[in-house]
Chain A
Amino acid sequence: MSEKKLYSYTALFNTPDEIIHAVEKVSEKGYKNYDVNTPYPVHGMDGAMKLPPSKLGYIALVLGLSGMMAGLLMTYWMSAIDYPINIGGKPIFSFPAYIPIIFEITVLFAAVGTVLAMLLFFFKLPNNSHPLHGTNYMKAVSSDKFGISIQVDDKLFVKEEVINLFKELGSTEINPVYYDEVEINYKNKIFEPKFIMFLVVAFILTSGATYVTLNKLMFMVPFDWMSNQEKVIPQSKSMFYSDGFGMRTPVEGTIARGHIPYPYKGDLEAASAMPNPLLPTKENMKLGQQKYDTFCSLCHGYHGEGDSRLRGQFPNPPSLHSEKVRNWSDGSIYHVIMEGQNIMPAYSSQLTNDEKWAVILHLRALQRSLNAKETDLQ
């Protein structure tokens, strides 16, 4: 055991009036390194000790403002920048709707932050090895007595003077307090390696437990009670139907939304009477070119000349600039796209109806480019 050093001399008093008076005198005499211990805050003590006003108010303000900024930035970044989603037509950055959240975050930061700042940095708590702990003095001042403790490291400390002063002030119990050199640790306890280790272990345990619970336990019987539900999900079986299939074919006659069944199935003559509903506007021409290049060009070539890119894997089609094709009506070409012809497969599902008409517009433009008339130059 290392030697015990004197930490301070303590004195106990019985009434609040006594302690206030005592503290006034102690402070008057010029002592600076002393402390007062009471079981509850005594009014006027701050003034008697001549303590400067607490700075925690400013800290709360700063923390609150930073909380507000954090909330604002978070909601702004997440909703307006990183993954904007249109919700119910509300603006992408719906500031009025975010105010409740920003307010809550402000209060959270300010309240919790100030308390942590107070405990960890101002008080340097938790600290259970302060010299005053474990003494009868501490027992008394936690219960119903009031005490002053003048530390040895005060410039004016002289043992006899201090004891006499306490006697003068009417204290009945004057005791020295000793401490173990190794015990005293003025560093912040919170940053001790043992505690940090504890935090790390706790973190690993908690995250591990959470992982196991959410990813493993929730899928095990009987905790999976809401995972297996009565409803029929895609590709599941269902005893409700006699054949056991959950997936059913649609009712006879069902058509997809926006789809109109082709009325001229197999009827080229009737189809050839269809007029092209699209006007050759810039957008339609562009659309036609795009779709033609995507779907038609690989067999028919970019300019409709039949120079396919398939290098013989599929027979080259005849040129689209022939008299025959040029004389076909738009409706006939539509019919061919819709149903296919000879080896050409049907393209009814690859293009929407409008896109088909646009392709026809583009084809007409291509044809005109190789068979231009003089009147075109005007």
Chain B
Amino acid sequence: MNFVFWVGIGHAGTLISAILFLLRQKWRNGIARFAEGMTIFAVMTAGIFPLIHVGRPWLAGYLFPYPNQHSIWVNFTSPLLWDVFAVSTYFTVSFVFWYVGLIPDFAALREKTSNKIKHIVYSIFSLGWRGSNKHWQNYEMVYLILAGFATPLVLSVHTIVSFDFAVSIIPGWHTTIFPPYFVAGAVFSGFAMVQNVLIFVRKIFNYEHIITIDTLEKMNKIILLTGTLVGYAYAMEFFIAWYSGVQAEQFTFINRAFGPYAWAYWIMISCNVISPQLFWFKKLRRSLVPMFIIAVFVNVGMWFERFVIVISSLSRDFLPSSWAYFTPTATDFAILIGSFGLFFTLVLLFTKALPVVSIAEIKAVVDGAQPTHKEH
């Protein structure tokens, strides 16, 4: 549950960075670096959870196909294993994407700094980048290729996460719309989280001219769109659950709305479906305090969505003898809060040590940056 939540947050980062790049949306440049960093940290935080939920974390190596004494290989048909490949690929590629973007910035820092140690560190990380146009040409192509790969990767990772649930036969879990629904949900919660954090960043660093209200408004429009998609998925699930005539399925949905976890369900609906609809109003899209609050609601709602999916379906599955009311223990809460702590610690370390805004990209889109090809 927490795993899905954090992976979802990670997706917004790649979405902003890669997908908006492919769509040539210039407004991404101000926030791309930060968003990619968030992705990496969110995925790292998310990665802790599979280790916890496999039950024997010291055997985590078993998840990878390496030749071993048991002469046995991993079970490739299992969606948990698809997760292993998907999340590790996602982390690796996001990290590479982020790093490649950082190389020219490290070079700029290397040249600007007078501190000897920093100079050495930046030199190492910049790999000796010279800003040579022969390199820029290939660099841009590779950046485009990476963005082109990161996009299907984002979609596939959350799709595979959704497969964890959807390939089962449990009512409420086994439904074909899960993949696009999860992807839309990930984008939804991710953008809300990014928007929340960015509002702070721009205040603290005085980046109001880079991370403009226009940028924030565009993000809010995406929150509105994806929230509506999530609402559509809820409606479709509900309709088909009735239409299918499968009693277990019909029961599951009635149970969600009126059973022991109804409180979680209605929090989810009001936060996910109703609150983003407020973004139809331009005023709310462009004012800082309302948009911040709405985004917080969205984050809460999306956490509860995973809660509702996982727990309400499991607490009332096929075997009535296994029906029980799950109450998270203090340990569960501690782990959840700890994960937020880890995530924000990493984010803050990042803001301290590295350029939060991608220098080279911003320089490239500032007015007067590109030749006008005027005759002289």
A21 to B363, CA, bound (A): 20
A226 to B60, CA, bound (A): 13
Contact status B142-A101, CB under 8 Å: no
Check: A214 CB closer than 8 A to any chain B CB. yes
Measured between beta carbons, the chain B residues less than 8 angstroms from A82 are 71, 73
Q: Which residue of A lies closest to B142 (CB)?
A: A118
How distant is B41 from chain A, measured CB to nearest CB, in Å? 20
Chain A positions 217-236 with a Cβ under 8 Å from a chain B Cβ:
218, 226-227
Contact status A100-B163, CB under 8 Å: yes
Contact status B108-A79, CB under 8 Å: no
Check: B81 CB closer than 8 A to any chain A CB. yes
Measured between beta carbons, the chain A residues less than 8 angstroms from B127 are 119, 123, 125-128
Check: A200 CB closer than 8 A to any chain B CB. no
Grouping DSSP codes into helix (H, G, I), strand (E, B) and loop, the B interface class, with mixed when no group exceeds half, is helix
Measured between beta carbons, the chain A residues less than 8 angstroms from B85 are 100-101, 104-105
0 or 1 for each of B157-196: is its CB under 8 Å from A? (1 = yes)? 0011001000000000000000000000000000000000
Contact A112:B96 (CB < 8 A) given known A51-B134, A123-B138: yes
How distant is A57 from chain B, measured CB to nearest CB, in Å? 6
Measured between beta carbons, the chain B residues less than 8 angstroms from A57 are 141, 145
Contact A83:B71 (CB < 8 A) given known A20-B371, A37-B130, A127-B128: yes
Contact status B130-A115, CB under 8 Å: no
Check: B251 CB closer than 8 A to any chain A CB. no
Check: A194 CB closer than 8 A to any chain B CB. no
Q: Which residue of A lies closest to B364 (CB)?
A: A40
Chain A positions 177-218 with a Cβ under 8 Å from a chain B Cβ:
214, 218
A90 to B96, CA, bound (A): 36
Q: Which residue of A lies closest to B83 (CB)?
A: A100
Contact status A104-B156, CB under 8 Å: yes
0 or 1 for each of B194-220: is its CB under 8 Å from A? (1 = yes)? 000000000000000000000000000
Measured between beta carbons, the chain B residues less than 8 angstroms from A74 are 65
Q: How many residues of B contact A (CB 8 A)?
A: 70
- Interface hit among A134-142, A243-251, A325-333: A134-142
A304 to B220, CA, bound (A): 91
Question: Which of A21, A38, A75 has the most chain B CB atoms inside 10 A of its CB?
Answer: A38
A103 to B78, CA, bound (A): 15
0 or 1 for each of A349-378: is its CB under 8 Å from B? (1 = yes)? 000000000000000000000000000000
Contact A118:B138 (CB < 8 A) given known A42-B371, A227-B58: yes
Contact status B77-A38, CB under 8 Å: no
Contact status B140-A37, CB under 8 Å: no
0 or 1 for each of B129-147: is its CB under 8 Å from A? (1 = yes)? 1111111111111100110
Contact status B145-A16, CB under 8 Å: no
Contact status B82-A100, CB under 8 Å: yes
- Interface hit among B86-94, B228-236, B305-313, B341-349: B86-94
How distant is A71 from chain B, measured CB to nearest CB, in Å? 9
Chain B positions 87-143 with a Cβ under 8 Å from a chain A Cβ:
89, 92-93, 96-97, 100, 104, 107-108, 110-112, 123-124, 127-142
Contact status B138-A139, CB under 8 Å: no
How distant is A263 from chain B, measured CB to nearest CB, in Å? 36
Measured between beta carbons, the chain B residues less than 8 angstroms from A100 are 79, 82, 85-86, 156, 159-160, 163
Check: A158 CB closer than 8 A to any chain B CB. no
How distant is A190 from chain B, measured CB to nearest CB, in Å? 10
A74 to B73, CA, bound (A): 10
0 or 1 for each of A121-134: is its CB under 8 Å from B? (1 = yes)? 01101111110110
Contact status B142-A115, CB under 8 Å: yes
How distant is B29 from chain A, measured CB to nearest CB, in Å? 10
CB within 8 Å: A-B pair count: 205
A36 to B137, CA, bound (A): 11
Contact status B132-A56, CB under 8 Å: no
A105 to B156, CA, bound (A): 12
Chain A positions 74-123 with a Cβ under 8 Å from a chain B Cβ:
74-75, 78-79, 82-83, 85, 87-88, 90, 94, 97-98, 100-101, 103-105, 107-108, 110-112, 114-115, 118-119, 122-123
Check: B352 CB closer than 8 A to any chain A CB. no
Contact status B140-A41, CB under 8 Å: yes
A21 to B372, CA, bound (A): 11
Contact status B360-A39, CB under 8 Å: yes
Check: B53 CB closer than 8 A to any chain A CB. no
Check: A17 CB closer than 8 A to any chain B CB. yes
**One of A16, A104, A123, A139 near B370 (C-beta < 8 A):** A16
Contact A45:B76 (CB < 8 A) given known A40-B361, A114-B145: no
Contact status A97-B131, CB under 8 Å: no
Contact status A79-B145, CB under 8 Å: no
Check: B24 CB closer than 8 A to any chain A CB. no
Check: A341 CB closer than 8 A to any chain B CB. no
Check: B61 CB closer than 8 A to any chain A CB. yes
Check: B355 CB closer than 8 A to any chain A CB. no
0 or 1 for each of A23-65: is its CB under 8 Å from B? (1 = yes)? 0000000000001111111111110010100101100100000
Q: Return 23 A-B CB contacts under 8 Å, by A number.
A: A16-B371, A40-B136, A41-B364, A45-B136, A51-B137, A54-B141, A78-B65, A83-B71, A100-B79, A100-B85, A100-B160, A101-B81, A110-B145, A114-B146, A115-B96, A118-B138, A119-B127, A128-B124, A129-B128, A138-B131, A139-B112, A142-B131, A214-B58
Nearest 4 A/B pairs, CB to CB: A126-B127, A78-B73, A36-B133, A142-B111
Residues of A within 8 A of B (CB): 15-17, 19-21, 35-46, 49, 51, 54, 56-57, 60, 74-75, 78-79, 82-83, 85, 87-88, 90, 94, 97-98, 100-101, 103-105, 107-108, 110-112, 114-115, 118-119, 122-123, 125-130, 132-133, 138-139, 141-144, 214, 218, 226-227
Given A16-B369, A110-B149; 11 other pairs, CB 8 A cutoff: A37-B130, A38-B136, A44-B371, A57-B145, A79-B73, A101-B85, A103-B152, A108-B92, A111-B97, A127-B128, A132-B130
